[in-house]
A and B are shown apart, each in its own frame.
Chain A
Amino acid sequence: MTRAVIESDVCIVGSGISAAMVADRIARTTSAKILVVEAGDDTVPLPRRAASRERFLRYGENPWGRDHLDGYEIEGPLQSRSMQVGGLAMHWGGVTPRFSPEDFKQRTLFGVGTDWPISYDDLDPFYQEAEVVLGVAGEQGPSAMDPRSKRFPMPPLPLTYNLELLKVWAAKAGITMWSQPSSKNSVAYGGRPPCCRNDTCSPICPIGAKYSPDFTWNALRSANRIRLVPRTLVRKLVLESGRKNISHAVAVNRDRPNEPVELHAKLFVVAAGYTWSSHLLLLSAQNGAPNGVANSSGLVGKYLAGHRNVQGYVDLPIRLYPGINEQHSLLTKQFMRRPKGSQYIRHDLRVWESSVNKTPRLTDDSGSLMLGDAILNDWRARTQTGTARVRAYYDVIPDRASELTLDPTRKNEWGDPLPKLSFRDAPESAALRGPTEEAIKTLFADMAKAGDGKLLRTSVDNFQDHPSGGCRMGNDPETSVVDSWGRAHDHENLFIVGAPTCVSGSCANATLTFCALSLRSANEIGRTVKKSS
């Protein structure tokens, strides 16, 4: 049987946003030979995205082509089925708030959860670097709520007409709000044009104003700084005989499944997100690592993290014009910063324009069918006032039983068990759930009242958004999988980066934090590469 061997200094598994951060930084700071391996296909190139978006808008079609592997229907709430060069950040919303300082010290400050082995200040320079690499347009919030050491690299996305009105409404309720920082160009940046409010950031930006990892890959490929191999699924990390280092990875080329591929490297970086990173480590059980690679603690796949949201719609006596930009929002961290020792009830808060309750309908209040002018007249009458969408993410403190395991009942076409996901609140978090949701609903009602409006409805999303964890970082190898740099406690030459290393999921969109953590890891990977050469 033919066997393909690919040699490199650094082998990165996965090509999502964390992988892009690591590859970019190592390419900038070292001369290492970098290999990037991706199970999915190459992504839809930028010139084809406008047409792809059109099909999405007209027919709801997936704008990213065949961005998945067949047979990967798994048990549990997978964040997204998407698998392609660029990963989930090809269709992310580009929303980039930071976590706040208390996220890293939950146990010390509030007696819940687990402290991270790093502080906000440790991560601040890497947040800054991530904002520069991605290109973040942001408005500085009040420094007590929104501490940062340097300015955003781009001016904020201007508030739309609707958001300006909603900001005034929020102020009446005593809430200070500002433009949501976003990885979308407010001016030409990184060779990409400014945003023009096409308003389909998620799932697809047709002009490249929103950052997606393919821009980094294109630049690195054209500079000949990396080799990126798509359609190649890494199935196992193999240990050096009798040693603790990773010797090579075994992969399958989806076009030539009968020719095994071996990936040999000095350093391995697993950057495959919260699901596929833990999955690969667990699949790699072997002599010397009977429970999987990097898993002497038994914690690989454990402590999956995320946050839940409460959402509401408020009818306000303001004429709004929904459709200017429904994806951009106002943000505040007013309810995210809690004083030490207080009960750990906190959340973010965002406000959007919305067309909920203001869309055309077929029947009138009496249930009679309307046709012709009646539908338009009814619609016009109902849109003299506006709707605001309000949403608060709140923390869910992860439990050990919030986990990814191998599912013995479902296998992929190469015979490997698929992952199974289940999320559970830690008991202390479960106890806070009721009071937290109640506090948020009360806030929404108060906001409605302050604007002489009416809270139309609220809902709680059970799905934990922006999932992370599974290879949590820590200083103690007994209670964590990697150190604060993402280096596996068990294996000197193995790094796990980005989402899986998070200790907790905060109450804000997490991608910027994944990027900052990845850049911090890349700093250490670069040091290790230089030392070894």
Chain B
Amino acid sequence: MPVPTLTLSRRTFLASLAAAVPLTLIVRRAHAAARAHLESDPATFDALADVVLPSALGKAGIRRAAAAFREWGAGYRASAELNHGYGTSRLRSSGPTPLTRWTQQLDALDAAARAAHRKPFRELSPADRVALVREALAGQRLDRMPAVGDATHVALALLSHFYDSSAATDLCYQAQIGRSTCRRLADSSRKPLPSLKLSER
């Protein structure tokens, strides 16, 4: 008896494949792929960090801030239960990984650089990089620093992540405040000491 042939369209095949693979697995794999992308090609991201973060951090400080952001992204968990609010019985959970959109935005910055200047983003002058970042952020809501995970663009996410840090507060106040860190009770009664100079850190 002849074996019947089964013909599947590409769309049907993909749909059936998607149905067979749990959604959480797809999400996890997308997160891992985006994370790998960010880690394997940090140059575009570092070139972005150089122009959006303050120069007072120094080159090494900017690298540290960029690395801390990548670490944040790597540790992100989708659908995690968020801290309960008071006065409500509603629960909230974290959204899908933002890394996928952020890596796409980095690719888009690079593509825009190549289209406008025939060079990768990382090889552009700071002024040209800033111009492309401004172009990418045109039309974005900028009335407040967003929460990192909610940032609609990778540049905003990086800014938000850095400026939310204890190091950023210390840099602003040029003092060793040490927000959210452990210190001796008695030490909290005196004026915070001045910041260490870059060479002393």
State the A residues within 8 Å of B (CB): 55-63, 65-68, 72-74, 77-82, 91, 157-161, 164, 186, 194-200, 203, 207, 321-325, 359-363, 369, 371-373, 375-376, 379-380, 383, 463, 465
CB of B166, distance to nearest CB on chain A (Å): 7
B172 & A360 in contact (Cβ 8 Å cutoff) = yes
CB of A64, distance to nearest CB on chain B (Å): 8
Given A80-B84, A161-B188, check contact A59 B182 (CB 8 Å).
Answer: no
The B contact surface, by secondary structure, is loop
B11 within 8 Å of A (CB atoms): no
In the bound assembly, the distance between CA atoms of A322 and B149 in angstroms comes to 24
The residue from B88, B172, B177 contacting A380, defined by CB atoms under 8 A apart = B172
The residue from B56, B94, B182 contacting A61, defined by CB atoms under 8 A apart = B94
Given A62-B82, A199-B180, check contact A161 B94 (CB 8 Å).
Answer: no
CB of B92, distance to nearest CB on chain A (Å): 9
The A contact surface, by secondary structure, is loop
Given A78-B87, A81-B91, check contact A376 B75 (CB 8 Å).
Answer: no
Residues of A within 8 A of B181 (CB): 198
In the bound assembly, the distance between CA atoms of A362 and B140 in angstroms comes to 11
B90 within 8 Å of A (CB atoms): yes
B54 within 8 Å of A (CB atoms): yes
A323 & B130 in contact (Cβ 8 Å cutoff) = no
In the bound assembly, the distance between CA atoms of A194 and B89 in angstroms comes to 33
In the bound assembly, the distance between CA atoms of A78 and B191 in angstroms comes to 41
B169 & A323 in contact (Cβ 8 Å cutoff) = yes
Write 7 A-B pairs (CB below 8 A) sorted by A numbering: A59-B149, A207-B182, A321-B177, A322-B179, A323-B169, A372-B51, A465-B86
What's the tally of chain B residues with a CB closer than 8 Å to chain A?
59
8 A Cβ contacts from B113-172 to A: 130, 133-134, 137, 142-145, 147, 149, 155-156, 159, 163, 166, 168-169, 171-172
B54 & A376 in contact (Cβ 8 Å cutoff) = yes
Extra 20 A-B pairs, beta carbons < 8 Å, given A60-B83, A81-B84, A362-B159: A57-B180, A60-B147, A73-B90, A77-B88, A158-B188, A195-B185, A197-B183, A197-B185, A198-B182, A321-B192, A324-B179, A360-B163, A361-B145, A362-B142, A369-B134, A372-B51, A372-B53, A375-B54, A376-B54, A376-B172
B82 & A61 in contact (Cβ 8 Å cutoff) = yes
B13 within 8 Å of A (CB atoms): no
User: Beta-carbon contacts of B44-88 to A below 8 Å, as 1s and 0s?
Assistant: 000000011111100000000000000010011100111110111
Given A66-B81, A78-B88, check contact A58 B192 (CB 8 Å).
Answer: no
B190 within 8 Å of A (CB atoms): yes
Residues of A within 8 A of B142 (CB): 362-363, 369
CB of B74, distance to nearest CB on chain A (Å): 11
State the B residues within 8 Å of A (CB): 51-56, 72, 75-77, 80-84, 86-91, 94, 130, 133-134, 137, 142-145, 147, 149, 155-156, 159, 163, 166, 168-169, 171-175, 177-186, 188-192
CB of A408, distance to nearest CB on chain B (Å): 17
Given A78-B88, A161-B191, A383-B173, check contact A371 B163 (CB 8 Å).
Answer: no
B177 & A371 in contact (Cβ 8 Å cutoff) = no
Residues of B within 8 A of A363 (CB): 142-143
In the bound assembly, the distance between CA atoms of A58 and B165 in angstroms comes to 9
Residues of B within 8 A of A359 (CB): 145, 163
Given A199-B179, A361-B145, A379-B172, check contact A61 B81 (CB 8 Å).
Answer: yes
Residues of A within 8 A of B186 (CB): 158
Residues of A within 8 A of B191 (CB): 161, 321
Given A57-B180, A59-B94, A73-B90, check contact A159 B82 (CB 8 Å).
Answer: no
In the bound assembly, the distance between CA atoms of A195 and B188 in angstroms comes to 11
B91 & A373 in contact (Cβ 8 Å cutoff) = no
In the bound assembly, the distance between CA atoms of A63 and B134 in angstroms comes to 37
The residue from B86, B130, B168, B189 contacting A158, defined by CB atoms under 8 A apart = B189
A77 & B188 in contact (Cβ 8 Å cutoff) = no
CB of A419, distance to nearest CB on chain B (Å): 10
Given A59-B80, A376-B56, check contact A77 B185 (CB 8 Å).
Answer: no
Residues of A within 8 A of B53 (CB): 372
B52 & A186 in contact (Cβ 8 Å cutoff) = no
B159 & A375 in contact (Cβ 8 Å cutoff) = yes
Residues of A within 8 A of B81 (CB): 61-62, 65-66
A203 & B83 in contact (Cβ 8 Å cutoff) = yes
A58 & B75 in contact (Cβ 8 Å cutoff) = yes
The residue from A77, A196, A383 contacting B183, defined by CB atoms under 8 A apart = A196
Residues of B within 8 A of A58 (CB): 72, 75
